Amino acid sequence: METTKPLTQELLDQHLPQVLEHFKKQGKSLELAILNQPIKVKENEMILEVMGHVQEERAHSMRQELMTLIRNLTGAGKFQLSLEVKEEIETAKNKLYTSSDKFNYLLEKHPALNEFRKKFGLETDF
């Protein structure tokens, strides 16, 4: 018997702990990381948020298992699964490539470091 029950946010939220437990028992930590991010349901479409290329590939590989599991748990009929790729924003300040960059970053965080350098005559010529 084909069910035509629509997938709703409330229905998904109600059964999400069981979905998480399923992947946890299998030791699938990358899948759990994806499922622990916000999941939205809009008009019979389940939208997973993924961070970067690695999670996007993993989400594609788990797609069929996840959809089957959700259909079995919720009794929902046909629904779509789509991905929303969120890129991590990297600032130039986070990139410390050279030893000088690293030292200057530490000087900003710990001004006393410059005093130690002078007091002990430490050379910082990188």
Q: Could you read off the pLDDT of 11-24 as tens digits, one per residue?
A: 999 999 999 999 99
Distance of CA 6 to the CA centre of its chain: 27
Q: Determine contact, residues 66/94, Cβ cutoff 8 Å.
A: no
Q: Determine contact, residues 96/102, Cβ cutoff 8 Å.
A: yes
Q: Determine contact, residues 64/56, Cβ cutoff 8 Å.
A: no
Residues contacting residue 124 through CB under 8 Å, at least 6 positions apart: 103, 117
In DSSP terms, 50 is beta-bridged to: 85
Tokens of 38: 């916000």
The chain-wide mean pLDDT, for the chain, equals 87
How many C-beta neighbours within 10 Å does residue 43 have?
9
Cα first-last separation, the chain: 73
Q: What is the pLDDT of residues 26-45, one digit of tens each?
A: 999 999 999 999 999 998 89
Give the span between the Cα atoms of 114 and 118, in whole angstroms.
6
pLDDT category at 2 given cuts 50, 70, 90 is low
The residue-averaged pLDDT of 33-60 equals 92
